[in-house]
Structure formats: structure tokens, C-alpha cells
Structure 1
């Protein structure tokens, strides 16, 4: 079987060599040897990198993605984890949609001043409430050591 060196994998996948080395050290991909100083990979690494890219674009952490792979390099996709991530994305989409709608309203609002607009004041109040809640949650976490 012909192997690809790290430069070929980087070129074919679009993933920088530094990231490939990081993924190799983290156990997400595995080099099969070396040609001189260059790591070698089998062709299956390209599919694995595509799965990693798909997971990253869906918002999974590298540690979560690592759980998707078995020792035999076959993906073991946890359907519950996918459903939970989909729910998380739905929540993010709702928040971003509300933010977009608020920005569009503020951009087109006919009020002489945004501070005179009842809709803008509600948006402002919602933002203040969210910001205060976020600060409280952070303050309650124990300091890192």
C-alpha cells in the first residue's frame, strides 16, 4: 500500500501540516511511519480528516470527535451525542435569529433615537439581563489553579 507523506496529506486535505502533527499527537489520526523526517499516513487518513472537519463544523470539540473513533479507525457515531448537538445548534440558531432581527429593526427603526424606540428598549433590556446573568454564572465558578 502506498503511503502519503505529511506534505501530500496537507495538500490534499487542506489541513496545515502543523494541525496534522497536532492531530497525530492527540490520537485523532495516526502516522504509519516516516520517510526521513516526514510522517507517513495511509490513504484512510483523508476520510478521517473529512470526518474531523465535519465534526468541527458542527461544533464538536476535538475530545468529543476523538470519542467517535474506535481503535480500528472506524467511526463509531453516537446518535444521542448527535441529537444533543442538534438541540444545542437549534438553541444557538434561535439566539442568533433574535439578534439578527433586533439588528435589522435597529437599522430600519423610524424613531428619532433608538433610545425612544420601545422595541429597541426591549432588546436593550434583554441584552442587559443576559449579560448580568452571564456575569453571575462566571463569578460563581471557583478560580482556576
Structure 2
């Protein structure tokens, strides 16, 4: 078993984060140093595992720190499942918006017009959006 302790500076360098981020995680209750000597925080392998888990959810899972805190807080399956379901729904919506954006940009690249603002397909879309905006903003009556 690895009993070595790693200073906050070593941990920050190893994980590619700032020391201030590690301190912030501690303030939020997401990371606890194993020991302090003078003003220096030290972390053991278990603390590094917590940090790796935090980074997995926060960075790789693109989750907020609040949602990450919910997942790290404990074993209540309802809370963490609801949190994950809500986040996956959010990601699905983002993916849909991003796919629409990519499709629009791909169309601009493939359009026969030399000026994307004058593309006949885009012109039709813009006219429909203008008409819809005017309908939505017109006073009833």
C-alpha cells in the first residue's frame, strides 16, 4: 500500500489544476486534505481518488460543482440518479442544438452561393423566422 503523502503543489501539478482550485474544492467540502503541516496541505492516495472522481464528474461529465457535490455526498441512490438523469437530459438538448449548428454551418460550406447571407435556402429560413417573430410580437386584436 502507498502511504506517501503528496503536497498540494504536487497534486496540483499532477492533476493539471491550480492550487487555488484545490483549496476551493476543500472550501466546498468536495476534497479533504489528509494532513496539514504548517500551512501546507497533504493528500494520500484515498484523497487523490476523491479528486480523480471529482474531476471525472466535473470535467469529463461536464457537471456543475453542485451536481458533483451531490454525487460525492453519498449513497442516496435517488439523489445521484436524478442528478445524472437531469444532466444527461441537458446534454441531449445541447447535442441537439450543436448538431443543428453544425448542420447550418455545413450547409453554408456547401451552398452554391458565394455569400452565405444570400443563400436561397437560408433566405427561406430567415423569412420564416422574421414572419414568426412578427406574429409573436404583434399586439392581439
Q: Quickly name the TM-score band, shorter chain normalised.
A: 0.7 to 0.9
Stretches of structure 2 lacking an aligned partner (at least 5 in a row): 134-141
1:23 is matched with which residue: 9, 22, 25?
A: 25
- The answer as to whether partners of 1:13 and 1:46 remain within 8 angstroms in 2 is no
- The answer as to whether partners of 1:5 and 1:39 remain within 8 angstroms in 2 is yes
- Does 1:66 pair with 2:66? no
Deviations 1:89-126 (A, max 9, x none): 11111110110110111122102543442321355468
Q: Distance in 2 between matches of 1:61 and 1:25?
A: 16
| Structure-2-length-normalised TM-score | 0.74
The count of residues paired between Structure 1 and Structure 2 equals 127
Stretches of structure 1 lacking an aligned partner (at least 5 in a row): 133-145
In terms of Rg, which structure is larger?
A: 2
Deviation at 1:15, TM superposition (A): 2.0
Q: Secondary structure at the match of 2:72?
A: coil
The structure carrying a bigger helix percent of its residues is 2
Q: Secondary structure at the match of 1:34?
A: strand
Match of 1:32 in 2: 34
Match of 2:52 in 1: 50
- Does 1:106 pair with 2:108? yes
Match of 1:8 in 2: 10
- The answer as to whether partners of 1:6 and 1:38 remain within 8 angstroms in 2 is yes
